[in-house]
Amino acid sequence: MRRLHLTLLVLFVAALTAAARAQNPLAPPPTPAQTSVAPSTPLNPALPTVFIVGDSTARNQADLGWGDHFAHYFDTTRINVANRARAGRSSRTFITEGSWDRVLAQIKPGDYVLIQMGHNDGGALDGPKARGSLHGLGDETKDVTLPNGRTETVHTYGWYIRKYIADARSKGATPILLSLTIRNIWKPGPDGRQHIERDMGYDAGLKQLAQQEHVAYVDMATVEADRLEATGPEKTALLFPIDHTHTSSQGAELNAQSVAIALRNAHSPLAAYLKPE
C-alpha cells in the first residue's frame, strides 16, 4: 500500500510538471541529460570550477533544485559546475555538519563559489531540528545545548556568510553572493493586482555584506520574480507542486536560467563561461 501511495505521488508530480510545460509561457525547454557534476565525480583539475553552496532550492533530490540544471548553461569544456548544495541546511549547519569543509578541500585558486543561504536560517536554534542562525550581521553569539548534550555557540547569519567569503578567498577562489530563490507567496499590491513575494528578509543583509566585503551580489530573485509575476499566480503554482518553496524540475530549470541571466546582468566574470544566449 505504501509503495502504491508513493507511485501515485510520483505520477501526480509528473502530471503537474507536464502541465506546467504545456501551459506556462515562461517554461524553459526540457533539460538535457548533462547536469552539474555529482559530489562523487572527480573534477577536471585543468579547469576552473564553480561550486554551488546552498540548500534544497539548489538541490532537493534529483533534478528538483536549480543547481542540478545549471551546467548546461555553461561551456563545460572550459569550466566544471559542481553542485554541493544540501537540502535542509542553513548557513550554520552547512558549516557545523562538515559540508563546507568538504567543499573547501576541493577549491583551488581561480575557482568560483556561488553562496545562496537563508531559507532555513529562521529555524530553531536548539531542539531536535537545530539549524537557525541569529538575526543580523554582527558578532553576537548565543550558546545552546543540543539534544546530544553538546554545547554549540551559534553566530549571526552575517557571521556565517562572512566565514564563507573569507574561507573561499583564502583558497584563492572568488565568492559570489546570490539572493534567495522566490517563494510562491502572493499578496495584493497598491495597484490591486497580486504580486509575488520578492524577499523573505535576507536580501538587504546580503547586499550590505557584499558592499562591506567587496564581493559581487547577484540578484537572481528579481529576475525570477519578474518572470513568475509575468505568468501569474495560477501558472506559477504549477511550478510549485509540493509547497511554496520547492519547485518541480521545470521550476528548477527556470531558476537555473534566472541565475544565468542574473550573472550576465551583474557583469560577473563567471558570465564569460556561459554559452552564448
- Active site includes 56? yes
Active-site pick, 40, 191, 214, 243? 243
Active-site pick, 91, 155, 246, 258? 246
* CA dist., res. 69 & res. 58, Å (int): 9
Q: For residue 216, how many other CB atoms are within 10 A of its CB? A: 18
**Maximum CA extent, the chain:** 55
Residues of the chain with pLDDT under 70: 1-40
Whether 33 and 71 have beta carbons less than 8 Å apart is answered as: no
- Supply the pLDDT for residue 246: 96
- Supply the pLDDT for residue 39: 62
- Supply the pLDDT for residue 41: 74
- Active site includes 243? yes
243-253, pLDDT tens digit by residue?
999 999 999 99
All structural domains of the chain with their residue ranges: 32-273
* CA dist., res. 247 & res. 250, Å (int): 7
Active-site pick, 36, 56, 90, 179? 56
Whether 156 and 140 have beta carbons less than 8 Å apart is answered as: yes
The CATH number of 32-273, from 1.10.10.10, 3.40.50.1110, 3.40.640.10, 3.40.1500.10, is 3.40.50.1110
Q: CA angle, corner 94, sides to 228 and 225, nearest 5?
A: 10
- Supply the pLDDT for residue 63: 87
Q: Which residues contact 92 (CB under 8 A, 6 or more apart)?
A: 121, 131, 132, 133, 154, 155, 160
- Supply the pLDDT for residue 168: 98
As a residue count, the chain comes to 277
Stated pTM of the model: 0.86
- Supply the pLDDT for residue 61: 81
- Active site includes 170? no
- Supply the pLDDT for residue 38: 61
- Supply the pLDDT for residue 194: 94
